[in-house]
Amino acid sequence: MNIDILKKLQKEAPDLKIRTINNINIIFFETLCNSNDINDFILKPIVMNNINDYSKLIKIPFGNYKEINNEKDLFFCLYSGFTIINIKNKFIACETKYPLNSSISEATNEKVVKGPKDAFTENYQNNIGLIRKRIRSKDLKVNEYVVGSESKTKVGLLYLDNVCDKDLVNEIDTKIKNIDIDYLLSINNNICKKSYTFPTYIMTERPDLVSFMLMEGRIVIITENNQEVLIIPTFFIDIFKSIDDHYQNRINVTITRIIRIIAFLTSIIVPGLYIALTTFNQETLPTSVLINFSMQREGVPFPSFIEAIILWVTFEILREADTRVPFVVGSSMSIVGALVLGQAAVEAGLISPIMIIVIAISSVSSFLFNDNDVVNSIRIWKLIFLILGSFTGLYGIFIGTVLFFTRICSIKSFSYDYIKEKL
């Protein structure tokens, strides 16, 4: 291992700088390192003390540094924002990272009703610090890994040693160590079993939620360059909980959770139930209501099922547009789009007003859940109930309900039953 391998790399990496002072080579990436730190804590001490020998060099208080003995560590430190000091084929890595991440700010993807406003960032050390600030315990353990043959992404597994299930820790530890990938984008796709109905993990950017889950015995995984933290395992009841609930009165929280459950059932069942009642089981409706529904559907060229599918897909497109387009135009575009398209469709006789009400109630009810995995689960089950209700009536709704409960009872979240309330 010598300086020649770095000089060869410099030809293909113009941001790699090599400075030579008193026969000492200073190597760093100017795009990753803080030039002020290099000047103040490395260059100045070397020049002022006239350092030209390795024994004198290691006596300088560089701060966070380590000696490098192999080429693998050399490149890992270099690409991690360290400055490499080389003298006579000996290398020292000094940490001079430039903070290439956003500062600690308010959560953007999760609305904070009550509680602290700070949120995780892309900085791995800051994220661990936000947790340690809340849990000042020697039982908080952190296992570190480097994942990705090319990205060399740092991953941290956090748990409370006196609370967490050790078998679960060993299971996750084995899964992380067995990850064989070039570039790690998100850890959840590599260690969590895929479920096409409900998520078996939580992705959050709120440190207070993570700290609370750690106290319950959950495991937390922090990934470098990712501001969302993974919490495992997760249970079905967690869909209806929020960390904001713990800052409010218990009676109010109970009422709020009941509303969430009602909204969840409304969002997946109501469209299919409406079609089942108006198409197959008309005898269950009062005559006046049935006549009113029939009058509103007069002139609509599509069957109820096709009408519901068209309108549901339109609402989902508007929702995705509201999520993806820039914030400045997002909300206004979706609101105006819904009003204009809905009114135009009714006037053209393509959609009945009652169907707009049914689909709108179902879609608005799903807005209570902001997790994308939960939203996608709602979409899947809404479509299932819509198909069953359209072809078999109330019998289909009953079959869909049985399938729903059978499915959630069969899901395993890291060897735990999904319908458990907690560990």
pLDDT at 362 over 70: yes
What is the mean predicted confidence (pLDDT) over 97-125? 80
pLDDT digits (tens, 9 = 90+) for 8-39: 887 788 888 888 887 888 899 988 888 888 88
Q: Using alpha carbons only, what angle is made at residue 283 by residues 282 and 287, rounded to the nearest 5 degrees?
A: 85
- 304-337 per-position pLDDT tens digit: 888 889 888 888 887 777 777 665 555 555 566 6
| Mean of all residue pLDDT scores within the chain | 84
Q: What is the DSSP string of 77-128?
A: HHHTTEEEEEETTEEEEEE-B---SPPS-B-SSS--SSS--B---S-HHHHH
Tell me the pLDDT tens digit for each residue of 64-74.
778 888 888 88
pLDDT-derived band of residue 1, with 50, 70 and 90 as boundaries? low
β-partners of residue 11 are none
Check: pTM over 0.95? Answer yes or no: no
The pLDDT value recorded for residue 214 is 94
Beta bridge partners of 93: 66, 84
* DSSP characters over 243-260: GGGGGS-HHHHHHHHHHH
Residues 6+ apart with CB under 8 A from 196: 380
Instruction: Please write the tens of the pLDDT for every residue from 168-200.
Output: 999 999 999 999 889 888 888 788 776 667 888
List CB contacts of 138: < 8 A, sequence separation 6 or more. none
Query: pLDDT digits over 211-268, tens only?
Result: 999 999 999 999 988 888 999 998 999 889 888 888 888 888 899 999 999 999 999 9
Give the tokens for residue 323. Answer: 């999520």
Q: Residue 318 has which token pair?
A: 């508007």
> What single-letter amino acid sits at 366?
S
